[in-house]
Structure 1
Amino acid sequence: MKGMNHKGYFAKVEFDSEDHIFVGHIIGIRDIVGFHGESVTELETAFQEAVDNYLAACNELGQEPNKPYSGNLMLRIPSEIHAAVASAAEASGKSINQWAAGVLEKESHAH
């Protein structure tokens, strides 16, 4: 399953069974930005509007918007796993970075 993504911002969505709506918020930033919709289409539109409004509000206030993620990820793993990752990357003809990015992308969209 792919997550909702707009301009590099991602969302977490839950279903509110009491109000029968989808409720979401932008994840990975310190500010709290929420949105909701009754259908998937409504939810997607509300999410995009929430991101756009957030960026516009930050611009109006002269504030730098929170960046969702930098793209840098540092992991501490046991040396045996590091060696296995290096071997798997080399066997596939990729750098550790390329190999790990592919594995992480596949797994993050698999759930």
Structure 2
Amino acid sequence: MKNTMDYKGYVGSIEFSESDGVFIGKVQNIRSLISYERANAFELIADFYGVVADYLDICEKEG
């Protein structure tokens, strides 16, 4: 079992909050704090892909 996932060269953490009953994670190895939280693993993966895509769009616009 992995505790990370990869997308477009970015690594995201995967954790489970038992007290909240949700999966949480953060994009690793970047200066910005980008986190995500979802009720199930499939939604968490989709959210991770989305935040990475948004981050790349912002980086492209800001140069």
RMSD: 1.3
Query: Quick check: which has more Rg, 1 or 2?
Result: 1
Question: What is the aligned partner in structure 2 of residue 29 from structure 1?
Answer: 30
Letter in 1 for 2:55: Y
Identity percentage of aligned residues:
32
- Distance (whole Å) between structure 2 residues aligned to residue 53 and residue 18 of structure 1: 29
Higher RCO (Cα < 8 Å, 6 or more apart): 2
Question: What is the aligned partner in structure 2 of residue 42 from structure 1?
Answer: 43
- TM-score, normalization by structure 1: 0.51
1:37 Cα deviation (Å)? 1.2
Question: What is the aligned partner in structure 2 of residue 77 from structure 1?
Answer: none
Unpaired runs of at least 5, structure 1: 64-111
Higher strand share: 2
Between stretches 17-26 and 42-51, larger displacement belongs to 17-26
Question: What is the aligned partner in structure 2 of residue 54 from structure 1?
Answer: 55
> Runs of 4+ in structure 1 displaced over 4 angstroms?
none
What number of residue pairs does the alignment pair up?
A: 62
- Distance (whole Å) between structure 2 residues aligned to residue 25 and residue 13 of structure 1: 8
1:40 Cα deviation (Å)? 1.1
- TM-score, normalization by structure 2: 0.84
Higher helix share: 1
1:18 Cα deviation (Å)? 2.1
Unpaired runs of at least 5, structure 2: none
